[in-house]
């Protein structure tokens, strides 16, 4: 993952990772390993909820997967059906109350939910519920889904679910666990990834295929836009909740930055896409340079593509300290600042006297990029050029990526040349939107590109604030 956005608050911060498995004797341990492999999608809290047909058992805690789940905890959850969640707070604060899976009891029994994405109408829905006396236990948008599901209903359970899902607007990949069923669900535009696999005959669901690989499951398919897949003792069943079919709006930034390079997301391998982005970047913005230097880790694949296409050799001018952690993913400015300078170091002997072209996936605030350029110049680089494997990010994301406020996005305030001067670069080139969309294989209208072009597929009427549901107490 890129560390351009790491310290000093440069980060677009995600959000969440999901893993679930139905009917496997090692379900809880598999979920633990699945979450481990999805840790890049959220490091603030993690939880696992399991059932054997009776009560739902859950353990949720702040921190990293590896620190949270001891052998004893995993043994206490031991059941053949489990869902798990890793979280970064895109809405709601970083507290244990907001850690998922959320667990509720309603008239039809206990229910657990794990959510990846952001709803754009949860404020409105929550206000309605609260005006009728409902009490919310968390400050997340995900709880709204539980309240919708808990509404009185005497028809079939499918219709209860469909009624609730139809009221949601925005991005949601969901795993829902009841005593006798597990659901895997994707919103009508399929903003966030969610795939299905199989392990020893047991169905598995995960945010990314890297989690399937880790537990030894085989990839079967992606959950389709608007699809509900139910797993129960009767087998697997699928139906669609939207009134009409909608055009997908897959988050293209998953390919640029978030997903792991070994995952298949939206039907294609992330590493291959990033290589293509790098090749397209080299064609659009060639550089007269001696070496291509990636910003590790998320610049690695695009830099390789840039090197292949340009013929300029790739070298590792930066070394990442893997023991610092993804400082940017921590929620407070203070916590992020504590990681400054620890994360990447320059190998002076590689860059000294060279014309260096640095490849990264994005520039958010610009603060950290500036620091990197300074390090290269101090180490004796003769020229520093920067190439970015996506267009300038000038608009906020309302669908689950926690970009900073628009006024903090450097591309919302400055032209490309102003950014170049601000970062003290000899040249700066961003991949065009056409270049980005030519590197992915789905039809171009099937991706969300709102943070680049301001075209929001799902209109946003609510004023979005991360902590909009927060209550002072």
| Positions marked catalytic | 16
Query: How many residues does this entry show for the chain?
Result: 473
Among 157-165, 246-254, 293-301, 364-372, the segment contacting ligand SF4 (CB under 6 A): 246-254
- Neighbouring-strand partners of residue 13: 402
Interacting positions 190-229 with ligand SF4 (CB under 6 A): 191
Query: Do strands 173-177 and 181-186 pair parallel, antiparallel, or not at all (unpaired)?
Result: antiparallel
Q: Which is nearer to ligand SF4, 118 or 142 (CB)?
A: 118
Binding of residue 176 to ligand SF4 (CB under 6 A): no
Rounded to whole angstroms, the Cα distance separating 245 from 250 reads 15
Burial class of residue 182, CB neighbours in 10 A (0-12, 13-18, 19+):
buried
Binding of residue 116 to ligand SF4 (CB under 6 A): no
Binding of residue 15 to ligand SF4 (CB under 6 A): no
Binding of residue 318 to ligand SF4 (CB under 6 A): no
Rounded to whole angstroms, the Cα distance separating 33 from 30 reads 5
Rounded to whole angstroms, the Cα distance separating 16 from 116 reads 5
Interacting positions 378-407 with ligand SF4 (CB under 6 A): 397, 399, 401
Minimum distance from residue 199 beta carbon to ligand SF4 (Å):
30
Binding of residue 351 to ligand SF4 (CB under 6 A): no
Cite the DSSP H helix spans in 346-457: 348-351, 367-378, 410-413, 416-423, 433-438, 450-453
Q: Which is nearer to ligand SF4, 183 or 253 (CB)?
A: 253
Binding of residue 251 to ligand SF4 (CB under 6 A): yes
Rounded to whole angstroms, the Cα distance separating 359 from 295 reads 6
Minimum distance from residue 388 beta carbon to ligand SF4 (Å):
15
Binding of residue 82 to ligand SF4 (CB under 6 A): no
- Neighbouring-strand partners of residue 213: none
Contact residue for ligand SF4 among 384, 411, 451, 458 (CB under 6 A): 451
Rounded to whole angstroms, the Cα distance separating 204 from 191 reads 20
Contact residue for ligand SF4 among 15, 19, 22, 253 (CB under 6 A): 253
Rounded to whole angstroms, the Cα distance separating 74 from 58 reads 10
Minimum distance from residue 363 beta carbon to ligand SF4 (Å):
14
Binding of residue 431 to ligand SF4 (CB under 6 A): no
Return residues touching ligand SF4 (CB under 6 A). 191, 251-253, 397, 399, 401, 448-451
């Amino acid at each position: 993952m890129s560390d351009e956005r790491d310290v000093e608050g440069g980060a677009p911060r995600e959000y969440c990772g999901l893993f679930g498995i139905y009917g496997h004797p090692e379900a809880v341990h598999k979920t633990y390993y699945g979450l481990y492999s999805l840790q890049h999608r959220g490091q603030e809290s993690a939880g696992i909820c399991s059932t054997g047909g009776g009560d739902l058992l859950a353990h949720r805690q702040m921190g990293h997967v590896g620190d949270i789940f001891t052998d004893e905890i995993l043994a206490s959850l031991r059941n053949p059906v489990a869902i798990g969640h890793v979280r970064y707070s895109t809405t709601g604060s970083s507290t244990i109350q907001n850690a998922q899976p959320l667990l509720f009891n309603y008239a039809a029994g206990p229910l657990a939910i794990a959510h990846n994405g952001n709803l754009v109408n949860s404020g409105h829905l929550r206000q309605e519920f609260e005006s009728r006396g409902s009490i919310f236990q968390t400050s997340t948008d995900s709880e709204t889904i539980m309240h919708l599901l808990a509404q009185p209903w005497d028809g079939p359970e499918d219709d209860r679910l469909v009624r609730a899902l139809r009221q949601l607007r925005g991005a949601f990949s969901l795993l829902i666990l009841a005593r006798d069923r597990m659901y895997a669900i994707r919103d009508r535009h399929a903003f966030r990834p969610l795939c299905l696999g199989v392990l020893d005959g047991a169905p598995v669901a995960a945010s990314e295929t890297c989690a399937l690989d880790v537990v030894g499951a085989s990839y079967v398919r992606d959950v389709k836009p608007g699809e509900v897949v139910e797993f129960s003792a009767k087998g697997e069943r699928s139906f669609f909740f939207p009134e009409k079919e909608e055009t997908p709006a897959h988050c293209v930034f998953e390919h640029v930055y978030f997903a792991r390079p070994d995952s298949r997301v939206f039907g294609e391998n992330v590493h291959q896409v990033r290589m293509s982005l790098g090749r397209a970047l080299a064609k659009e913005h060639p550089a007269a340079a001696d070496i291509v230097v990636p910003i590790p880790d998320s610049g690695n694949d695009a830099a390789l593509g840039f090197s292949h296409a340009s013929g300029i050799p790739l070298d590792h001018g930066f070394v990442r300290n893997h023991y610092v952690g993804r400082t940017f993913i921590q929620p407070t400015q203070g916590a992020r600042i504590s990681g400054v300078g620890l994360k990447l170091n320059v190998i002076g002997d590689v860059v000294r006297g060279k014309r260096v072209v640095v490849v990264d996936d994005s520039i958010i605030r610009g603060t950290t990029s500036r620091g990197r350029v300074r390090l290269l110049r101090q180490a004796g680089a003769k020229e520093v050029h920067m190439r970015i494997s996506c267009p300038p990010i000038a608009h906020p994301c309302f669908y689950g990526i926690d970009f900073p406020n628009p006024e903090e996005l450097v591309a919302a305030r400055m032209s490309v040349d102003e950014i170049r001067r601000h970062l003290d670069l000899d040249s700066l080139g961003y991949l065009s939107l056409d270049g980005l969309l030519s590197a992915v294989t789905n039809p171009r209208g099937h991706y969300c590109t709102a943070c680049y072009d301001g075209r929001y597929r799902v209109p946003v009427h609510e004023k979005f604030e991360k902590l909009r549901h927060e209550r002072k107490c």
